[in-house]
């Protein structure tokens, strides 16, 4: 019996802030379910042309006191980007901390407003090392 990937779900505390973070990465809202009886919203976001691979943001209207926790039990979401330096600069300019800078021109890690770890990978070969990334220290953990 073959299986098919559907989505990755993460719980979020601030839906607008989290959606804005994923929009910075290039994801768009593809579907939304607002459940009045259950008092929650499910927002699916995916890169353009990859709508079959969404992240599901689960938002409980009455709050979720457990968030944001470390979330390291979750692992991470990974996205390939055309230029890792440009993406990291865009995120930094928007106030996002680069937890693991792309010193190698290949890989970086950031965290969403809900503390979900996001891995960014350079498409194709690694870019040549460049400043300020090459000498930038890690911040926190990923």
Which residue in 65, 78, 100, 64 sits closest to 25, CA to CA?
78
Angle value at C-alpha 68, between 65 and 73, nearest 5 degrees: 110
Sign of CA dihedral 22, 87, 47, 73: negative
- For residue range 26-55, what is the model confidence (pLDDT) as tens digits? 999 999 999 999 999 999 999 999 999 999
Same domain flag for 78 and 131 = yes
- For residue range 78-107, what is the model confidence (pLDDT) as tens digits? 899 999 999 999 999 999 999 999 999 999
Number of domains composing the chain: 2
Same domain flag for 101 and 49 = no
Strands 8-12 and 55-60 come out as: parallel
Other beta carbons within 10 angstroms of residue 61's beta carbon come to: 13
Of 85 and 6, the structure prediction assigns the larger pLDDT to: 85
Other beta carbons within 10 angstroms of residue 73's beta carbon come to: 6
Q: Is residue 120 part of a domain?
A: yes
Which residue in 49, 47, 53, 64 sits closest to 13, CA to CA?
64
Name the average pLDDT for the chain. Answer: 90
Q: What is the pLDDT of residue 70?
A: 60
Q: Which band of pLDDT confidence, cut at 50, 70 and 90, is reported for residue 75?
A: low
pTM above 0.85, yes or no: no
Give the CATH number of the domain where residue 132 resides: 3.10.180.10
Most confidently modeled of 1-5, 7-11, 91-95, 109-113? Answer: 91-95
Tokens read off for 118: 């996001």
Q: Is residue 49 part of a domain?
A: yes
| Domain limits for position 25 | 8-60
Strand, coil or helix: what is 108? strand
Active site members: 119
Per-residue CA distances from 111 to 37, 44, 88, 114, 120 (Å):
31, 18, 12, 8, 11
Q: What is the pLDDT of residue 28?
A: 98
């Amino acid at each position: 019996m073959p299986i098919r990937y559907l989505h990755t779900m993460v719980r979020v505390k601030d839906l607008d802030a989290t959606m804005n973070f994923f929009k910075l990465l290039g994801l768009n809202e593809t579907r939304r379910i607002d459940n009045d009886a259950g008092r929650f919203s499910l927002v699916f976001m995916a890169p353009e042309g990859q709508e079959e691979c969404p992240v599901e943001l689960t938002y409980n209207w009455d709050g979720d006191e457990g968030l944001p926790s470390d979330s390291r039990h979750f692992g991470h979401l990974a996205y390939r980007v055309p230029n890792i330096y440009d993406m990291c600069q865009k995120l930094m300019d928007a106030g996002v901390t680069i937890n693991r800078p792309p010193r190698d021109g290949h890989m970086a890690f950031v965290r969403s407003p809900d503390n979900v770890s996001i891995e960014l990978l350079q498409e194709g070969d690694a870019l040549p090392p460049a400043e300020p990334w090459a000498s930038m220290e890690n911040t926190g953990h990923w």
